Structure 1
Amino acid sequence: MTFSGEFLAFMGLALVAIIGGVLLLNLTRVIHMVVALIFTFVAIAGIYVLLSAEFIAAVQILIYSGAITIIMLFGIMLTKHDDEGEPKTGKWRKFLLLLGVLGFAFAMYLGIYNFNIDQVPTTLHENNTMQIGKALYSKHIIPFELVSVLLLVALVGSIVLAKKEDKEADKE
Structure 2
Amino acid sequence: MMFSGEYIIFLCLALVALAGGILMLSLSKVVHMVVALVFTFVSIAGLYVLLSAEFVAAVQILIYSGAITIIMLFGIMLTKHNDQTFPHIKRWKKLLILLSIFLFAAVTFRSISAVPFDGQATGLHEENTKQIGIELYSTFIIPFELTSVLLLVALIGAIILAKKDDEEANESEQ
Moved more, 66-75 or 136-145: 136-145
Which residue matches 2:9? 9
Structure 1: distance between partners of 2:108 and 2:150: 37
Which residue matches 1:70? 70
Q: CA deviation digits over 1:63-104, x for unaligned, max 9?
A: 000110111111111111122212334555544544443343
Q: What runs of 5+ residues in structure 2 fail to find an aligned partner? A: none
Structure 2: distance between partners of 1:147 and 1:110: 34
Structure 1's 112 and 155: CA in aligned 2 closer, same or farther, altered over 3 A? closer
Structure 1's 150 and 121: CA in aligned 2 closer, same or farther, altered over 3 A? same
**1:159 and 2:172 equivalent?**
no
Q: CA deviation digits over 1:113-148, x for unaligned, max 9?
A: 343233364312211112223444566556545544
> How many residues align structurally?
172
What amino acid sits opposite 2:111 in the alignment? Answer: G
Partner SS state of residue 82, structure 1: coil
Q: What's the offset of the Cα at 1:59?
A: 0.4
Q: What's the offset of the Cα at 1:8?
A: 1.9
Which residue matches 1:80? 80
Q: What's the offset of the Cα at 1:161?
A: 2.8
Q: Are the aligned partners of 2:29 and 2:84 in contact in 1 as well (CA < 8 Å)?
A: no
Which residue matches 1:108? 108
Q: TM-score when scaled to structure 2?
A: 0.81
Structure 1's 103 and 144: CA in aligned 2 closer, same or farther, altered over 3 A? closer
Q: TM-score when scaled to structure 1?
A: 0.82
Which residue matches 2:132? 132
Structure 1's 74 and 124: CA in aligned 2 closer, same or farther, altered over 3 A? same
Structure 2: distance between partners of 1:89 and 1:148: 39
Structure 2: distance between partners of 1:136 and 1:88: 45
Q: What's the offset of the Cα at 1:60?
A: 0.3
Q: What's the offset of the Cα at 1:151?
A: 3.1
Structure 2: distance between partners of 1:111 and 1:138: 31
Which residue matches 1:26? 26
Partner SS state of residue 156, structure 2: helix
Structure 2: distance between partners of 1:33 and 1:11: 23
